[in-house]
Chain A
Amino acid sequence: MTKTTAELMMEAETLVSYGAVPDRILDDALPDMSWQMSREEFLFRGIGDHLFHYRRGKGITVHRGADADAAHESLWLNGSVYAAIASMNGLLPIHASAVAAGGSVFAFSGPTGSGKSTLVAALGNRGFRLFCDDTLVLDLSDPDRIMCLPGHKRLKLTSEALDLAAVTPQERVSPELDKFYAVPASGEVGVAMALAELIFLEEGPHPSITPLSGSERLMRFQDDHYTAQLFATARQFDRAGMFAHLSNMAQRIKMSRFVRPMDRARFNESVEIAARHVENDAD
């Protein structure tokens, strides 16, 4: 199937080569697990002598020093580096996991540990194909619809989530993390699709999915996740610019809140509610 302009751009911009990279692109030194961004460049330092340098139009150069941990490399490339490149090239990465239904995308957002990945994995057992895990990249260029780029990360689940979602684990993500790669039960989507809805996960005793009002949508779209920080830095928003962005997203994106108990015994009940909602709202 034909790829969108945004997909082709991301493919070209995220090509990786290995070689020498600068240790900073701004004046200050770059500590472990931090990044610097200028108009044309992005530099991320992992742990120790492990650097990722992106230049617009030139792709990514990785410097992996002798003490660098290769197991982390794909996590950082697919995490901060990918989100930075998307942001610097006009795309919007958001902290969400998503499934596809009826030719469009239903995304679930919430803080780390809120159950995004577990929910989409469980929805996979009900026939919904995985669209992305953890980061959803949006292309805002079409005024009539927001397109989602297909996921670039493998599904990752904790051992508890694997059990809850009844998914078979593959290899461990890294020795330090209690997370395992997993294959989604209904497969993955590999093409861009329009965003149908963004659903925010909340905890509460009575499961329900309800639409958010205009101001609630604006407020909920604010995020302190690294994807939002990278996007804000790339766009160099002042307060008014950020407000204009948030209100634009609130106007364009259908958003809901999904309240459900964080209770293992009621997990299937929550998944069933999510599945019915997605089925009913799909085209």
Chain B
Amino acid sequence: MNRVIKLSERFTEAAIDDEIVVMRVDTGEFFSLTGTAATTWRLIDGNRNRDALLAALADEYSTDEAAIAADVDDFLAQLKETGLLADS
């Protein structure tokens, strides 16, 4: 399965308290990531594929992969749609 990679040339980001704020540099759009979204974003390191990401999140939150798979897939799809993420 392909690795999930951030399109880092397209955005800049900052951690403020427990939030991550991401801005697309070409459009100026802001995205605020909190809670599990922020954790998922942090775990996207360019080396993990979708399954490895799911395993890392399940480990982080001490839960079953199956219980979070749909939400994680939705979130990854949203990030791809906003132009912040791609599969390698």
Interface mask (A237-265 → B, CB under 8 Å = 1, otherwise 0): 00110011001101100000000000000
How many contacts A-B (CB < 8 Å)? Answer: 42
Interface SS of chain B? strand
> Are A247 and B25 in contact, CB atoms less than 8 angstroms apart?
no
Q: Is A65 an interface residue (CB 8 A)?
A: no
B30 adjacent to A247 (CB under 8 Å): no
Q: Would A243 and B14 be within 8 Å (CB), given that A215-B30, A215-B32, A219-B30 are in contact?
A: yes
Number of interface residues of A (CB under 8 A): 14
Q: For residues 76 through 114 of chain A, which have their beta carbon under 8 Å from a beta carbon of chain B?
A: none
A213 interface hit (Cβ, 8 Å): yes
Interface string of B1-39 (1 = CB under 8 A from A): 000000000001011111101010100101010000000
Taking a contact as CB atoms under 8 Å apart, the answer to whether B19 and A239 are in contact is no
Q: Which residue of B lies closest to A252 (CB)?
A: B16
CB distance from B55 to the nearest CB of A (A): 28
Instruction: Answer whether residue A214 sits at the interface, using C-beta atoms and an 8 A cutoff.
Output: yes
A217 interfacial contact with B, CB 8 Å = yes
- Which residues on the B side are within 8 Å of A244 (C-beta)? 12, 14
- Known contacts A214-B15, A214-B18; 10 additional CB pairs below 8 A are A215-B16, A215-B30, A218-B21, A219-B30, A239-B25, A239-B28, A240-B23, A243-B14, A243-B25, A250-B21
